[in-house]
């Protein structure tokens, strides 16, 4: 009798451990999903919006020399996305400026305003990326910490050994564990229970960007570069105005 009670208690304890295992693992999965959603949003800002803003500025400055001067204003070592921009043909470059608003009485003024407005858009997207990057890294660090603690506290081998002793086809058992295991081979189930996310790989997908100057602080220097570009390439630039 005493043996049966001890056996029942041991079984109950193991079942509670298994239940906690699934519950905590589900929390990790949810946090991981949230981190990946932030990462996808971050990559979209970087590869779409920031890149497009740089492409527009390059198109407006035309000269590689002037583009490099602009990049120095931002304290960057080299023009970002330059190889991709260089691969664009003239038609694709012109399309980058389609639909943009122009304001100013004279062509040069309209051009300088367009250049400055484009930088303001770049600054806005850059700041959004910078702020979201910190939130994304915080979420990734949280998931990494949860996974590290989870793997320290729980042995997947012990959990699987316990599950193999259960009637996994029993609906009550399945509900108690919070997962539907009916009809699932334990070998497949074992793989799905493992936490195998390549977190270091996710960290590598977050390019590090420093801060760039706010538009007002570089407006005089940027417009000086713009005036030189307009002086050199007025005929080419007038088609955008």
Closest C-alpha to 87, from 55, 129, 49, 119: 55
What does the DSSP 8-state code read for residue 194?
A: S
* pLDDT tens digits, one per residue of 74-120: 988 889 899 999 998 888 888 877 766 666 577 888 889 999 999 99
Measured distance CA(188)–CA(185) in Å, rounded: 5
Q: Cα–chain-centroid distance for residue 134? A: 10
The segment with the largest mean pLDDT, out of 5-19, 126-140, 146-160, 176-190, is: 126-140
Average pLDDT over residues 26-46: 84
State the burial class of residue 50 (Cβ atoms within 10 Å of its Cβ: 0-12, 13-18, 19+). buried
Average pLDDT over residues 23-27: 77
Q: Spell out the residues 6+ positions from residue 54 whose beta carbon is closer than 8 angstroms to its own.
A: 79, 80, 81, 85, 122
Q: For residues 196 and 150, which has the higher predicted lDDT (pLDDT)? A: 150
Residue labelled with tokens 């713009």: 226
Closest C-alpha to 136, from 209, 227, 191: 209
Measured distance CA(241)–CA(222) in Å, rounded: 18
Note the pLDDT of residue 122: 94
Closest C-alpha to 132, from 45, 228, 222, 239: 45
Measured distance CA(74)–CA(184) in Å, rounded: 56
CB 32 within 8 A of CB 143: yes
Residue labelled with tokens 């100013």: 104
Measured distance CA(190)–CA(213) in Å, rounded: 52
Mean pLDDT lowest for which of 2-11, 32-41, 207-216? Answer: 2-11
CB 176 within 8 A of CB 184: no
Measured distance CA(142)–CA(34) in Å, rounded: 11
CB 81 within 8 A of CB 111: no
pLDDT at 5 over 80: no
Closest C-alpha to 209, from 138, 134, 132, 130: 130
Over the Cα atoms of the chain, what is R_g?
29
Q: What is the residue-averaged pLDDT of the chain?
A: 76
């Amino acid at each position: 009798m005493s043996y049966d009670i001890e056996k029942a208690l041991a079984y109950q304890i193991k079942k509670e451990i298994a239940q906690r295992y699934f519950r905590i693992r589900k929390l990790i999965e949810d946090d991981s999903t949230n981190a990946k959603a932030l990462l996808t949003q971050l990559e979209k800002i970087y590869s779409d919006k920031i890149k497009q803003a740089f492409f527009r500025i390059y198109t407006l400055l035309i000269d590689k020399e002037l583009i490099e001067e602009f990049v120095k204003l931002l304290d960057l070592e080299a023009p970002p996305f330059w190889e991709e921009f260089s691969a664009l043909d003239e038609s694709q470059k012109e399309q980058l400026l389609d639909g943009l608003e122009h304001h100013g009485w004279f062509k040069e003024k309209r051009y300088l305003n367009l250049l400055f407005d484009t930088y303001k858009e770049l600054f806005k997207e850059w700041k959004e990326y910078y702020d979201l990057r910190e939130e994304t890294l915080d979420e990734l660090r949280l998931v990494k910490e949860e996974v590290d603690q989870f793997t320290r506290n729980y042995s997947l081998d012990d959990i699987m050994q316990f599950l193999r002793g259960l009637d996994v086809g029993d609906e009550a058992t399945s509900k108690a564990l919070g997962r539907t295991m009916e009809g699932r081979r334990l070998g497949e189930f074992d793989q799905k229970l493992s936490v195998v996310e390549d977190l270091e790989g996710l960290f590598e997908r977050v390019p590090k960007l420093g801060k760039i100057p706010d538009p007002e602080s570089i407006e005089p220097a940027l417009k000086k570069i713009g005036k030189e570009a307009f002086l050199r390439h007025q005929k080419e630039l007038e088609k955008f105005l």
